[in-house]
Every structure is written in C-alpha cells, then in structure tokens.
C-alpha cells in the first residue's frame, strides 16, 4: 500500500464519485463525527456522487438514502441498493432476490444463527439484526467483548459449512445465501441508475474502506484507498487497497475528501 500522498492531484481531479464503507471508515468508535458528515456533504454539494457501500441493514439504509447527503446506498453487503427519488418523494428499492426468496432464506438464516450462537461462546446476534432482510450478522466486538481470532474463524466456518457466503467486517461476520458481494450490486446500481458501465469507467471513481469484506472493491478500483486502521486486517485481506491514509477511521475519510476537493478546485 502506498501513502495517499502518492496519489497525485491530477489523478484525483477527474474523480466523479466516491464509494465508501461506513463502519470504521466513516465512523470512529461507533459514532459518525460531525467532520465526517460535513465531508460527505461537501463532496455531494461539489457534484461528486457519494454512495455508501455497507454491510449495515435495510432499516439503516432506508434512513441513509433519505436523510444523508448521498446519491444512493448499497446495503447488506450487496443484497440491494436504495435511493431517494426526490421529485417523486419516494424511496426506490432494488433487491437482488425477490420477496419469496428472501422470506425462504430468512427462515434458514435464523436457524443457522441459533446454531452459531450455541457453538461459539461470547458471540451474539448483531443488535441491528431486526431490520435485516437478506443476511445474518454475528457480532464479535461491537456490543460484546472482543472475541479471539479463532472464534471469528469458527463463525465463518459454520456459515460456510451451511452453504452460505461469509464475510468479516471490522465488527461482524455477515452471512447470506448467494454469490454476490459489495461489488456485484455496485455495478448493477451504476448501470441501472446512471447508465454507466463501471468496468469501462472504474478509473473515474474511488473506493474507501477498512476491512476484509471490502476486498472485492479494493481489487476492482485502481484508486482504492484504505483508512489507516486497514492495517489491522492486512493479513486477512486478499486484495489490499492501493493507497492508505494517515488518519484512522473517520479522520482518514476526511483526509480523502479534503484531497479530492482540493484537487477538483
């Protein structure tokens, strides 16, 4: 990983959009600082498309799409995208799986979650599980004392054995049925909402993240950026980011936003 200072102003000047993780990328110690929110707003107001790409649930993403200064949001690690259609005053929702498939999967996810809770002492269902529609999130350090690496690996093993896709974030292990990830739905969003072939235009966008479930995005975007705390997971990220900030968490995102805004001006 190269320091962000190695990414030139010329390379940043033409950036049209920012995709960003939320937890420990926009947030710091579980909170969204005013400076980070202001950075999102400044980017949005400058004409840069801003799209959070998160493992957080549908209920949160409804709020984010409606009330944050963003253009859309991809949630539950790629299960859907939401955006707020301001002229129509309506939240638009696009799910990868249809309603019957989501209902069928939800029953099996609940069964597997109970098996994991019984097998791995100290873990818990994520507190936001009640507003998820497509995955199960097992908390290993957000609202429970941090679990050892072996416990996290055991959660992943149990999900994988049940035929699920399992991804580790900085706080949860998320599991779902299907082969999609954050990148899958990001590409669909850009094609359907904006008519953009992201394969041809990936150099016009940056991604900012921090954890193993961001690896597909890090690999895909030439101008991928990790906030400094990404180093804590570097041994577990198959494809690390190209660049890394000096600041951790929300401070790192603010650092990216300031560089990008200065280059555009």
Spatial contact of 132 and 80, defined as CB atoms under 8 Å apart: no
Can you tell me the distance from the alpha carbon of 187 to that of 51, in angstroms, rounded to the nearest whole number?
12
Answer yes or no: do 104 and 203 share one domain.
Answer: no
Domain end call among 144, 176, 208: 176
Residue 201 confidence (pLDDT)? 96
Indicate whether 64 and 88 sit together in one domain: yes
Domain boundary among 120, 154, 176: 176
Contacts (Cβ under 8 Å, ≥6 apart) of 11: 223
Query: 131: domain range?
Result: 99-176
CATH number at residue 124: 3.90.1070
Contact 213, 168 (CB under 8 A): yes
Kindly list the averaged pLDDT for each block of 10 residues, start to end, along the chain of length 265: 94 96 96 98 96 96 98 96 97 96 94 97 96 96 96 97 92 94 96 96 97 93 97 89 97 98 91
Q: Are residues 234 and 165 in the same domain?
A: no
Three-state helix/strand/coil letters over 49-90: EEEEECCCCHHHHHHHHHHCCCCCEEECCCCEEEEEECCCCE
Give pLDDT, residue 233: 86
For residues 92 and 103, membership in a common domain is answered with no
Taking all residues of the chain, what is their mean pLDDT, rounded to a whole number? 96
CA gap 244, 178 in Å, rounded: 31
Half-sphere exposure of 66 (CA within 13 A, CB side): 10
Q: What is the pLDDT of residue 238?
A: 86
The pLDDT, as a whole number, for residue 28 is 96
Find, among 71, 8, 7, the residue nearest to 40 by Cα: 71
pTM for this one?
A: 0.92
- Sign of the Cα pseudo-torsion (83, 84, 85, 89, in order): positive
Return the pLDDT at 139. 97
The answer to whether the beta carbons of residues 4 and 244 sit under 8 Å apart is: yes
User: Which structure tokens are listed for 129?
Assistant: 């599980």
**Amino acid 224: pLDDT:** 98
Report how far residue 125's alpha carbon sits from residue 117's, in angstroms, rounded to the nearest whole number. Answer: 8
CATH number at residue 232: 3.40.50.1000
What six digits make up the tokens of 264?
């555009």
Max intra-chain CA distance, the chain: 55
């Amino acid at each position: 990983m190269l320091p962000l200072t190695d990414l030139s102003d010329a390379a940043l000047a033409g950036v049209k959009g920012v995709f960003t993780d939320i937890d420990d990328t926009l947030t710091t110690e579980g909170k969204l600082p005013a400076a980070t929110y202001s950075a999102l707003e400044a980017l949005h107001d400058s004409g840069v498309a801003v799209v959070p790409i998160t493992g957080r649930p549908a209920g949160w993403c409804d709020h984010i799409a409606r009330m944050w200064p963003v253009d859309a949001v991809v949630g539950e690690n790629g299960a859907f995208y939401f955006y707020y259609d301001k002229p129509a005053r309506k939240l638009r929702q696009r799910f990868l799986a249809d309603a019957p498939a989501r209902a069928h999967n939800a029953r099996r996810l609940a069964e597997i979650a109970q098996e994991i809770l019984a097998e791995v002492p100290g873990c818990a269902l994520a507190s936001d599980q009640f507003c998820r529609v497509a995955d199960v999130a097992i908390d290993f350090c957000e609202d429970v004392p941090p679990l050892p690496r072996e416990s996290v690996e055991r959660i992943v093993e149990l999900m994988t054995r049940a035929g699920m896709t399992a991804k580790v974030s900085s706080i949860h292990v998320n599991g779902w049925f299907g082969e999609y990830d954050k990148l899958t739905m990001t590409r669909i969003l850009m094609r359907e909402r904006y008519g953009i072939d992201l394969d041809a235009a990936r150099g016009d966008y940056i991604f900012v993240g921090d954890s193993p479930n961001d690896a597909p995005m890090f690999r895909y975007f030439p101008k991928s950026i990790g906030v400094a705390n990404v180093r804590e997971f570097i041994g577990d990220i198959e494809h690390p980011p190209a660049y890394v900030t000096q600041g951790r968490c929300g401070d790192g995102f603010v650092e990216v936003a300031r560089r990008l805004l200065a280059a555009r001006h």
